[in-house]
Amino acid sequence: MAHFLGVDIGGTNTRLMLMNDQQVFQNYQKVPTHSWAGLTDPLGGLEQLLAAYLQGTSAPVSGVMLGLPGILSRDRHTVLSLPFIPALDNQPVAQQLSVRLGLPVCMDKDVNHLMWWDLTRLDVLPDVAVGVYLGTGFGNSLWLNHDFYHGAHGGAGEIGHIPLKDNPLLCPCGKTGCVETLTSGNWLSGWAKLHVPGTTISDLFVKHADHPDLQEFMERLARTIASEMNILDPQYLVLGGGVLAMAGFPLGQLERLIRAHLRSPYPASGLTIAISGVSDETGCRGACLAAQRRFRQDSSSQSISQPARHLAFRREA
C-alpha cells in the first residue's frame, strides 16, 4: 500500500507524519527546527532528518510533501523567501531533496496544508474558500475554483502585508506599515509585555478582551479579513490559528465585526464562517493529504477520492 510523508516546517518545530492510502496516520515526530536549520548546510540537515525518518519505517513511501512558512515559486519548486532559514532562499529545495532521497518531493505554503485539512472536513468541497490562520504571523490560504491560488509568481495571499496608514512599524518582510505588525500573535505578545506584564499570554483575552487596545486589534483583524471577502466573495471563510484558539478569544465578536463590513447582497448573504479544526498535528496531516492528492494527480487521471468528511467543523482546544 502506498504511503505519504507529510512534513510541516515551522519556525520553532518541524513535524513529520506518515499516512497510508487509506488515510490512516502513524509515526508522528516533532523535532526543533534549529536542530537542522541551524547547521551550516540546512538543506543537508533536512535531508538527513528525512532520511533517518524514512529508514525508521518499513512502509513503502511514494512521495514527500513539505509545508513551509514562506513564499515559494509559482511552480513550488523553489523557495523564494523563507525569513527564518535564509540559506534556503532561491534554492530548488524540493528538487534537490528528491534527487538526494530518490523519492518524489513537493512543497507548498504551510497554510495551504492547514486549509486542505479543513476543506477535506467539509461535506462537499466548495468552489471558492478563504482560510485565515492567525498565529505568530497572519497566514492566508486562497482556494479559488477548486484549486489553491498561488498568483502569477507565487506571492498571492500575503494579506498580512497590506499597508496601514500611519503605521511606522518595520515588518520582517522588510517593508514598514504592514497590517501584520499590528495584527498578529507577535503584536499581542509585545502588547501584553508592555501593558499587562502580570498576565500570562494564554490569559490575555480571558482577562483583558475589553481593553480598548485589544478591541482595536479585533477591528483591524475584522476589517482586513472583510476586505478580502469583498474582493473574493467566497462560500467559506475558515478562521483558525493559535491566536483564535486562545482561551477567551471573542470568536463571536470577530464574526459580527467581519459581517458588519461585508457588501450586500454578496458576499454578505453567501458567506459561511467556519472555525478551523486545526491542532498541533494538522500541518503535517494536511501535508500527507496534499501529498496523496498531488502524487495521485501525477500518476493517474482517475478521480481523486476525498477523505472521510464530517459535517461540522470542530474547534480543538
**Where along the sequence are the contacts to Zn ion (CB under 5 A)?**
161, 171, 173, 175, 178
In the complex, minimum distance from the CB of residue 179 to Zn ion, in angstroms, rounded to a whole number:
8
Sign of CA dihedral 75, 77, 83, 89: negative
In the complex, minimum distance from the CB of residue 306 to Zn ion, in angstroms, rounded to a whole number:
35
* Cβ partners under 8 Å of residue 166, min gap 6: none
Which is nearer to Zn ion, 106 or 178 (by Cβ)?
A: 178
| 265 half-sphere exposure, CB direction, 13 A CA radius | 0
Task: Please give the DSSP secondary-structure letter assigned to residue 186.
Answer: H
Which is nearer to Zn ion, 141 or 181 (by Cβ)?
A: 181
Element (H, E) at 110: helix 110-119
In the complex, minimum distance from the CB of residue 85 to Zn ion, in angstroms, rounded to a whole number:
18
Which is nearer to Zn ion, 83 or 92 (by Cβ)?
A: 83
Yes or no: say if 235 and 223 are a contact pair by the CB < 8 Å rule.
no
Mapped onto helix, strand or coil, the DSSP state of residue 11 is coil
In the complex, minimum distance from the CB of residue 174 to Zn ion, in angstroms, rounded to a whole number:
7
In the complex, minimum distance from the CB of residue 153 to Zn ion, in angstroms, rounded to a whole number:
17
Which is nearer to Zn ion, 65 or 178 (by Cβ)?
A: 178
CA distance 317 to 300: 38
In the complex, minimum distance from the CB of residue 71 to Zn ion, in angstroms, rounded to a whole number:
11
Cell numbers that stand for 1 in this block: 500500500
In the complex, minimum distance from the CB of residue 160 to Zn ion, in angstroms, rounded to a whole number:
6
Partners of residue 66 on adjacent β-strands: 7, 107
Yes or no: say if 111 and 149 are a contact pair by the CB < 8 Å rule.
no
Mapped onto helix, strand or coil, the DSSP state of residue 48 is helix
Which is nearer to Zn ion, 150 or 161 (by Cβ)?
A: 161
CB-based burial label for 209 (10 Å; 0-12, 13-18, 19+): middle
CA distance 141 to 150: 9
CA distance 286 to 299: 20
Which is nearer to Zn ion, 169 or 251 (by Cβ)?
A: 169
Which is nearer to Zn ion, 89 or 281 (by Cβ)?
A: 89
